[in-house]
């Protein structure tokens, strides 16, 4: 046996079977790299030599190796000359001798004495720790202090062995079904917890039946989204220092707004008022984006009474909130606010719908309400719009409404050339590229006004979710911030029915909570909002679909479900909802809790399960604004533009519109020819394109051209029994539910991973066919 030419190190560990004798296990490892000053090393974890060494006194009464043996592949011991051990220890290739920390320090006294007799350099004697579980399996996993995990038996083990132990215990609880494949993302989450606590017992505390997340926040916490430092110049800009009218300043002072928030100061610096720059404004929810729009819009209204401000939002609930807010706030400045929402179109004729626009100073509207006015050829009725604020610009990434918003913005730009455009968003991917596409200045501030603690809680079933919601809501409401506000909660779930059932569950247990969803009337919503703002209720249970319209100052957001209807939330939607936790000057800290049921899906079509979605959302990247090309939707937006002009529009102007669209990945001339061939418009002299009655009807319907022509074909060829059948086909009745009793009865007879209580769900409809039902 010769000394190798490569660098190595020697590890000595007391043999567990020979406690009274001076018998030590010895292993030699090749070094890949070794940084002595930093005490960092990389090594081949399979020893090139393993064996035992016995120490004793020689004739001079000095400690020496008296027996030395090698253990071969068959675990057979082969004697070796003990003098070779000394040669291996003193060889220059041996960089250090390591003493395993799993052995009592006193046990090493004979070895230390021997090394001193060998005149071995003390600095080359080190203490190291191996994973006990790996050692038992004849594997050698060296651990630094950051990777040492304490097992049930107080042994030091590695994170991989700890993970194996944790998963085994969790499967025993039934939280994860035994034998079911555990996703890599969920494994990473467990490992995250293991490395955070470094104690297996501490990690497993979170999975006990009586676990209380309120008492163990340190266990469920995933991370804290903190604010980073920001330049002082953005923290100290006062209202008195900006160029707005005295009356406007006075109004803001009465509202206790004397200093601008950082995003507002950055916007001012980048020319919001001085140069009336178009801006894409990105800041977290409640970061102060809305006031930026008001500063620009109201300033111009006060300078010129003929001007109007247009504030656009994606949903009715948000239109109601902003219209009420602006109406009350700016009444003192004699500014009239008018609200326009799509619902009104069903109740009023075009003339009645338009009549109050002439006297309006501020128009708060849904995208579709104003777009309808444009598509109807009534663009002149809007008047002189000096400021256009488009809230929730991240709708651009929505596969259904993204094309509509893209076309709508381009239509506005094509007629209101001199207006100032402000695009507001808390969440959108590739903001620099989008700002370039929109031809505006990017104003971005990522700091949350209030830090948010994000928590992940795994729940065995829906009952456990409800119990945890009750604990969290009760605990939050019992606390009062330093600003004097109680901790109130917004619980997000995926259906209206669950809104009602969760709020009923909490109310029965003494917590005043209201269901808050799109099925309520505007008056009912206002009443709930007043109860929330006056702190008479501890929270609301809202559908994810209403997230953009839930502008309530909650300290805590709880995700009972990570779905919106039967679709998983996107990262952008999740961030939007997450941002509702914590409000500036009301709370010191916001809390967000994700209640996750491993293996849970909300539709048979869902390929991923809830725990995978949770990790993806917490670590996710928001997708960018560009959509997959869709000829039908793009063609419809082009038709909608031409529909704005009663007398027709020239080719050059249509091309300018095409150039303004973000999603313009199509052949422009081919599209124009196609509209003509479909007989939706005709080309007059001088290349003037004029829409016909059918074309405008399609544009005003907001249906795509393809869908509209399909409807015409069905009516012409009597493929539908009645107009009512056609209406139901276009907008089916979906909210029909079975009672819990019926669901429980049906569930007995089927073996399904997912069973919905919606009458029209796949799981219920499959039971209509007797062959799917097992015989009792």
pLDDT in tens, 236-250: 889 999 999 999 999
Q: Which pLDDT belongs to residue 776?
A: 40
726 pLDDT more than 90: no
pLDDT in tens, 489-531: 999 998 888 999 999 999 999 999 999 887 777 788 889 989 9
- Domain 631-730 is of which CATH architecture? Orthogonal Bundle (1.10)
Do 303 and 246 touch, CB atoms closer than 8 A? no
Torsion sign across C-alpha atoms 759, 761, 765, 767: negative
Q: Looking at 162-176, 178-192, 389-403, 447-461, which range is the least confident one?
A: 178-192
Domain boundaries 452-619, CATH class: alpha beta
626 pLDDT more than 80: no
Is residue 13 packed enough to be buried (19+ CB in 10 Å), middle (13-18) or exposed (0-12)?
A: buried
Q: Where are the alpha helices (DSSP H) in 229-315?
A: 246-254, 262-269, 289-303
**Where along the chain do its domains lie?**
8-130, 276-444, 452-619, 631-730, 740-772
Q: Which pLDDT belongs to residue 545?
A: 63
Query: What is the 8-class DSSP label of residue 686?
Result: G
556-559 and 489-493 beta bridge pairing: parallel
Mean pLDDT of 697-720: 90
440 pLDDT more than 70: yes
Q: Which pLDDT belongs to residue 19?
A: 65
130 pLDDT more than 80: yes
Q: Looking at 408-417, 530-539, 649-658, 708-717, which range is the least confident one?
A: 708-717
Q: Which pLDDT belongs to residue 348?
A: 52
Q: Which pLDDT belongs to residue 756?
A: 63
Other C-beta atoms closer than 10 Å to the C-beta of 26 total 24
Question: Higher model confidence: residue 638 or residue 610?
Answer: 638
Q: Order of strands, edge to edge, in the sheet holding 681-683?
A: 649-650, 688-691, 681-683
Listing DSSP states for 407-456 in one string gives HHHHHHHHH-TT-EEEEEES--S-HHHHHHHHT-EEEE----SS-EEEEE
Q: Which pLDDT belongs to residue 66?
A: 92
What's the mean per-residue pLDDT of the chain? Answer: 86
What span, in angstroms and rounded, lies between the C-alpha atoms of 28 and 12? 9
Do 44 and 11 touch, CB atoms closer than 8 A? no
What span, in angstroms and rounded, lies between the C-alpha atoms of 64 and 67? 9
What span, in angstroms and rounded, lies between the C-alpha atoms of 754 and 763? 7
pLDDT in tens, 308-345: 999 999 988 888 889 999 999 999 999 999 999 875 44
Q: Which pLDDT belongs to residue 546?
A: 65
* Cβ-Cβ contacts under 8 Å for 206 (sequence gap 6 or more): 193, 216, 219, 220, 457, 458
What span, in angstroms and rounded, lies between the C-alpha atoms of 625 and 447? 22
Do 340 and 369 touch, CB atoms closer than 8 A? yes
- Of 714, 726, 710, 773, give the one whose Cα is nearest residue 747: 773
Q: Which pLDDT belongs to residue 543?
A: 86
pLDDT in tens, 254-308: 998 999 999 999 999 999 999 999 999 998 877 789 999 999 999 999 999 899 9
Do 577 and 559 touch, CB atoms closer than 8 A? yes
Determine the 3-state secondary structure of 51 from DSSP. strand
Distances in Å between the alpha carbon of 414 and those of 388, 664, 701?
13, 15, 21
Q: 276-444 adopts what CATH topology?
A: Rossmann fold (3.40.50)
Helix (H) or strand (E) holding 281: strand 279-282
- Of 472, 495, 464, give the one whose Cα is nearest residue 592: 472
Q: Looking at 29-43, 428-442, 680-694, which range is the least confident one?
A: 29-43
Do the domains at 276-444 and 631-730 have one common CATH topology?
A: no
Beta strand ranges found along 350-399 (DSSP E): 362-366, 384-390
- Of 307, 315, 313, 324, give the one whose Cα is nearest residue 289: 313
Q: Which pLDDT belongs to residue 351?
A: 56
pLDDT band of 752, cuts 50, 70, 90 = low
Other C-beta atoms closer than 10 Å to the C-beta of 221 total 16
What span, in angstroms and rounded, lies between the C-alpha atoms of 579 and 590? 9
- Compute the chain's Rg from CA coordinates: 35
Q: Looking at 24-38, 396-410, 655-669, which range is the least confident one?
A: 24-38
Percentage of the residues of the chain whose pLDDT score is greater than 70? 91
Distances in Å between the alpha carbon of 126 and those of 68, 604, 622, 752?
22, 57, 48, 58
Other C-beta atoms closer than 10 Å to the C-beta of 296 total 25
Question: Higher model confidence: residue 453 or residue 605?
Answer: 453
């Amino acid at each position: 046996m010769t000394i190798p030419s490569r660098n190595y190190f020697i590890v000595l560990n007391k043999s567990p079977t020979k406690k009274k004798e001076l018998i030590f296990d010895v292993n030699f490892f090749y070094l890949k790299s070794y940084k002595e000053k930093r005490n960092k090393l990389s090594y081949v974890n399979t020893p090139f030599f393993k064996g035992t060494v016995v120490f004793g006194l020689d004739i001079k009464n000095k400690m020496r190796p008296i027996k030395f043996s090698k253990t071969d592949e068959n675990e057979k011991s082969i004697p070796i000359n003990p003098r070779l051990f000394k040669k291996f220890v003193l060889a220059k290739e041996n960089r250090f001798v390591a003493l395993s920390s799993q052995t009592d320090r006193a046990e090493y006294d004979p070895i230390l004495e021997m090394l001193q007799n060998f005149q071995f350099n003390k600095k080359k004697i080190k203490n190291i720790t191996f994973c006990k579980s790996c050692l038992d399996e004849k594997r050698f996993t060296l651990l630094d202090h950051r990777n040492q995990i304490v097992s049930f038996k107080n042994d030091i083990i590695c994170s991989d062995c700890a993970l194996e132990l944790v998963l085994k215990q969790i499967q025993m609880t039934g939280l994860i079904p035994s034998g079911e494949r555990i996703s890599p993302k969920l494994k990473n989450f467990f490992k995250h917890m293991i490395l955070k606590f470094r104690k297996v017992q501490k990690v497993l505390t979170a999975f006990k039946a009586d676990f209380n997340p309120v008492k163990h926040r340190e266990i469920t916490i995933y991370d804290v989204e903190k604010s980073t430092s920001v330049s002082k110049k953005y923290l100290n800009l006062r209202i008195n220092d900006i160029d707005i009218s005295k009356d406007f300043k006075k109004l803001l002072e009465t509202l206790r707004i004397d200093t601008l928030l950082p995003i507002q100061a950055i916007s001012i610096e980048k020319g919001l008022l001085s140069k009336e720059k178009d801006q894409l404004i990105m800041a977290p929810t409640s970061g102060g984006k809305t006031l930026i729009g008001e500063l620009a819009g109201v300033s111009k209204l006060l300078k010129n009474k003929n001007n109007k401000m247009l504030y656009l939002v994606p949903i009715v609930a948000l239109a109601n909130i902003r219209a009420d807010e602006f109406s009350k706030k700016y009444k003192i400045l004699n500014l009239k606010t008018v609200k326009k929402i799509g619902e009104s179109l069903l109740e009023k004729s075009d003339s009645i719908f338009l009549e109050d626009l002439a006297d309006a100073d501020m128009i708060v509207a849904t995208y579709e309400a104003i777009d309808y006015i444009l598509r109807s050829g009534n663009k002149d009725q809007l008047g002189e719009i000096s400021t256009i604020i488009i809230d929730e610009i991240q709708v651009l990434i929505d596969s259904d409404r993204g094309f509509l918003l893209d076309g709508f913005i381009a239509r506005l730009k094509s007629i209101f050339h001199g207006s100032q455009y402000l695009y507001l968003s808390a969440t959108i991917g590739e903001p620099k590229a989008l700002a370039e596409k929109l031809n505006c200045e990017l104003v971005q501030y990522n700091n949350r006004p209030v830090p948010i603690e994000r928590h992940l809680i795994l729940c065995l079933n829906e009952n456990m979710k409800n119990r945890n919601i009750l604990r969290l809501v009760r605990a939050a409401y019992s606390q009062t911030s330093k600003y004097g506000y109680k901790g109130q909660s917004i619980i997000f779930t995926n259906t209206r029915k669950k809104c009602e059932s969760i709020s009923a569950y909490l109310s029965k247990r003494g917590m005043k909570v209201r269901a808050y969803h799109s099925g309520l009337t505007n008056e009912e919503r206002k009443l709930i909002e007043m109860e929330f703002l006056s702190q008479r209720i501890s929270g609301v249970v809202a559908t994810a679909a209403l997230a953009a319209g839930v502008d309530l100052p909650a300290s805590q957001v709880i995700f009972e479900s990570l779905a919106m209807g039967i679709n998983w939330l996107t990262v952008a939607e999740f961030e939007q909802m997450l941002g509702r936790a914590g409000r500036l000057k009301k709370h010191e800290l916001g809390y967000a809790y994700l209640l996750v049921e491993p293996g849970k899906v909300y539709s048979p079509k869902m390929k991923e399960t809830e725990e995978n979605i949770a990790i993806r959302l917490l670590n996710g990247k928001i997708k960018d604004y560009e959509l997959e090309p869709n000829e039908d939707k793009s063609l419809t937006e082009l038709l909608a533009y031409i529909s704005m002009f009663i007398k027709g529009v020239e080719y050059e102007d249509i091309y300018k519109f095409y150039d303004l669209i973000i999603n313009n990945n199509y052949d422009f001339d081919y599209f124009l020819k196609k509209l003509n061939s479909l007989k939706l418009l005709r080309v007059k002299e001088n290349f003037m394109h004029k829409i016909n009655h059918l074309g405008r009807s399609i544009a005003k319907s907001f249906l795509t051209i393809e869908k509209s022509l399909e409807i015409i074909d069905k009516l012409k060829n009597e493929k539908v029994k009645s107009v009512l059948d056609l209406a139901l086909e276009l907008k089916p009745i979906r909210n029909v539910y079975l009672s819990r009793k019926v669901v429980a009865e049906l569930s007995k007879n089927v073996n399904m991973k997912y069973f919905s209580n919606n009458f029209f769900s796949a799981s219920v409809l499959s039971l209509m066919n007797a062959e799917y039902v097992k015989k009792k």
